[in-house]
Chain A
Amino acid sequence: EAGVTQFPSHSVIEKGQTVTLRCDPISGHDNLYWYRRVMGKEIKFLLHFVKESKQDESGMPNNRFLAERTGGTYSTLKVQPAELEDSGVYFCASSQDRATDTQYFGPGTRLTVL
């Protein structure tokens, strides 16, 4: 069974540009989460989808971040315009059943904003 995949693995952009990160969850997993680790600190929650609906986006830093999950399959996270403080590793995770709550993580996308 394929795990959670993320694309790209690395992205280097200039301040003010736009970047879109993609996450493909494990097939059949309704729950999809985005997290971010900045500057070697703790991994922080960004938002949670159940199928195509946003259940909790309390961790989104500001309105420069837009997440979508059209059709309830893969998800995208767009940063527009990117700022220096957006640099970090963006992780996606999925889980099948909220009650079991075991989240399986992808390899992450390392974003560098110059």
Chain B
Amino acid sequence: GEDVEQSLFLSVREGDSSVINCTYTDSSSTYLYWYKQEPGAGLQLLTYIFSNMDMKQDQRLTVLLNKKDKHLSLRIADTQTGDSAIYFCAENGDDYKLSFGAGTTVTVRA
């Protein structure tokens, strides 16, 4: 099966940049996703990147994809308290079901 690995915790000071890393094993992934889960809420699609792209930027979010190393990262610029959440990396194989990591809990401290 597909494996997606993420670090479990990240603590960052308000105003700094956060970088969340993810590695995956399925080389047939078409899209890679970042989902955000705030306390008591569901999964919110944050952004996604097509597998033939290296980078995607969307306001404070920057996604970097290194397909050779099967490494995906999400950078959040100017991290705010509202960015405290669990961030899930996910990828789809050729069968379209998503494989998720265990989630990175991001804590923003003042």
Interface of A with B (CB < 8 Å)? 4, 6, 33, 35, 40-45, 48, 56, 59, 91, 93, 98, 101-108
Contact = CB atoms under 8 A, between A and B. Distances in A.
Interface in B1-51: 4, 30-31, 33, 35, 41-45, 48
15 contacts: A33-B97, A43-B43, A43-B103, A45-B98, A45-B99, A48-B96, A56-B97, A91-B43, A93-B98, A101-B96, A102-B31, A102-B33, A102-B45, A105-B35, A105-B45
B31 A101 contact: yes
Interface of B: 4, 30-31, 33, 35, 41-45, 48, 88, 90, 92, 95-103
B103 to A, nearest CB: 7
Contacts of A56: 95, 97
A67 B23 CA distance: 32
B98 A35 contact: yes
Question: Which 9 pairs, one residue from A and one from B, show the smallest C-beta to C-beta distance?
Answer: A107-B42, A105-B43, A43-B100, A45-B97, A42-B102, A42-B100, A105-B42, A108-B42, A106-B42
A44 B97 CA distance: 9
Judged by DSSP, the binding face of B is strand
Contacts of A59: 97
Most-contacted residue by chain B among A33, A42, A105, A106 (CB, 10 A): A42
Given A42-B103, A106-B42, 17 more contacts: A4-B42, A6-B42, A40-B103, A41-B102, A42-B4, A43-B43, A43-B100, A45-B99, A48-B97, A56-B97, A59-B97, A93-B98, A98-B96, A101-B31, A102-B33, A102-B48, A104-B45
Most-contacted residue by chain A among B31, B42, B99 (CB, 10 A): B42
